[in-house]
Structure 1
Amino acid sequence: MRFRNLGSGSGGNSTLVEASQGITTTRVLIDAGFSERELTRRLALTGCTPADIDAIFITHEHGDHVGRSVAFTRRHRIPLITSRGTWRAIGCEDFEASLLCIARSGEAIALGDLELQPFAVPHDAHEPLQLCLSDGAVRLGIVTDLGSAPATVAEALRGCHALLLECNHDEAMLRSGPYPPSLQRRILGTHGHLSNKSAADLLSRCRHAALNVVVAAHLSEKNNSPALVRGALAQVLACAAEDIRVADPASGFDWLTVG
């Protein structure tokens, strides 16, 4: 199994996960927070076309995650997977039922060479879900929008061989930055976004000997910096700061193998 991020930030979020077993290959997009044209362009950079995508999983209804995914899936006949709450918030009543799969926290979804394992997170959206994926040998955890990490989240991520982990903001930068107090309170709240400190704490609870790929994602361009993120996570992983990977807000990162 391998994964590649197509962009991670307020401008749009999407991660491509690929697994192969013998002669078969399964590809799923986690979020698709771009226009149809832009998503197609970014897929082309990975060597894929819309026809190569087996499903799109939408974590929640915010625009930088859902983008034009409904129109994209309809145009290219790609199944869309999301929670009932997210689907209601998206508000598309005439979508073809055969293309929609309702996901529930704690209920695994079989998709070709992959098993999708959604889990609930605290975020200011309607029934948001984040995701672990397994090919039967290794597990990848993707957790990019949550304001806090209760024990249920740490438990869902335990045993992952790779993590794509939100490190949205540095608290000091956020409090002294340009955002108005109301937006600061939202981001800092239990249903906002993870700070570097909170992300490091979650990582410390999930760390184990077989966790060998960790990528920081969803960094705020105004309230964080790669250097601060690398310092926070390197301390947990007992590695050099330059060893910590950080997803570029505009371009994501190239293919990484899990395990």
Structure 2
Amino acid sequence: MRFACLGSGSEGNALLVESGKTRLLLDCGFNLRETTARLARLGRSPSDLSAILVSHEHGDHVGGVPRLAAKFGLPVWLSHGTHLQLAAIGQMPEQFHLFDTHHPFAVGDLWIQPFPVPHDAREPTQFVFSDGAYRLGVLTDLGRSTRHIETMLDRVDALVLECNHDVELLAAGPYPPTLKRRVAGDYGHLSNAAAAALLAKLDTRRLKHIIAAHLSRTNNRPGLARQALAQVLACEQDWIAIADQDTGLDWRQLL
């Protein structure tokens, strides 16, 4: 199993996970042209994809999904709540499958364990992917951790973890008070400190890759995110990778 990121942040998100003949795109917040260009950087094209998996209905995660799915005949997997929200605004793809946020399911060679997260969406979900030997946890777009989340992510081999903002930068930054409260609230986004606190509760002995994701351009810095996570893991800061908004993240292999 291997994974790569097309881009991560408020301007668009997409993560590519591969195992065997299965190539699954988690979210797509980029237009078709941009998605195609970003896949090409990873040696892939939209026609290589097996399916699209959607975490929630916010535009930076789902904005590019309907057109990508329609043009390339891709099935889309999503929660019941996300389906209802997209249907209400006329953005539901033609081919779709619904999943229960507490029940695992398979897409080709990938086994997927969804789990609910607190975020200001209809039924937001995050995931653990497995090929039977290794587990990749993905956790972004949530305002706080829960015991269930921590149970799902315990002993993963790789983790993509939201480090959206630095608390002090957000407080002193240009966002209006209402937006600051949303970002920092229980249904907003994880700060560096909150991500580090979550990480400290996990059994990380199997961890081979950790990627800080969904960093705010305005309210965070890569060095601050690296520092927070490296302190928990007692590792060099350079070992913490960053999923960048513009350049994404190159392939990471689980062996």
**Which TM-score band applies after superposition, normalised by the shorter structure?**
over 0.9
What is the CA-CA distance between 1:95 and the residue it aligns to? 4.3
Residues 178-227 of structure 1: CA distance to partner in whole angstroms, max 9, x if unpaired? 00100000011100000001100111112321112100000001100011
Q: Which residue of structure 2 aligns with residue 26 of structure 1?
A: 22
Indicate conservation of the 8 Å contact 1:133/1:141, yes or no.
yes
SS of equivalent to 1:102: strand
Runs of 4+ that moved beyond 4 A: none
Q: TM-score, normalised to structure 1's length?
A: 0.95
SS in structure 2 opposite 1:12? coil
Q: CA separation in 1, counterparts of 2:162 and 2:59?
A: 17
User: Contact 2:53–2:76 (CA<8 Å) still a contact in 1?
Assistant: yes
Measured after TM superposition, the shift of residue 68 of structure 1 is: 2.0
Q: Does 1:107 align with 2:69?
A: no
Verify the 8 A CA contact 2:211 2:240 in the aligned structure 1: yes
Deviation sequence 1:42-75 (CA, Å, 0-9, x none): 1111111212111101101111000120121011
Partners of 1:246 and 1:228 lie apart in 2 by 11
Aligned-residue sequence identity (percent) comes to: 48
Deviations 1:10-43 (A, max 9, x none): 11000000112xxxx1110010001111111111
1:222 aligns with 2:218: yes
In structure 2, the partner of 1:56 is 52
* Local SS of the residue matching 2:171: helix
Distance 1:73 1:208 in 2: 36
Residues 1:67 and 2:85 aligned together:
no
1:196 to 189, 192, 199: 192
Q: Does 1:41 align with 2:37?
A: yes
Q: Give TM-score scaled by structure 2 length.
A: 0.96
Give the aligned partner of residue 12 of structure 2.
Answer: 12
Matched, 1:130 2:126: yes
| Preserved contact between residue 118 and residue 187 of structure 2 (Cα < 8 Å) | yes
What is the match of residue 208 of structure 2?
Answer: 212
CA distance in 2 between counterparts of 1:104 and 1:74 reads: 24
Q: Determine the C-alpha separation between the residues in 2 that align with 1:102 and 1:94.
A: 12
Distance 2:179 2:68 in 1: 31
Number of aligned residue pairs = 253
Deviations 1:217-251 (A, max 9, x none): 00001100011111100001101112211111111
Q: Distance in 1 between matches of 2:59 and 2:254?
A: 28
Equivalent residue in structure 1 for 2:171, among 172, 175, 178: 175
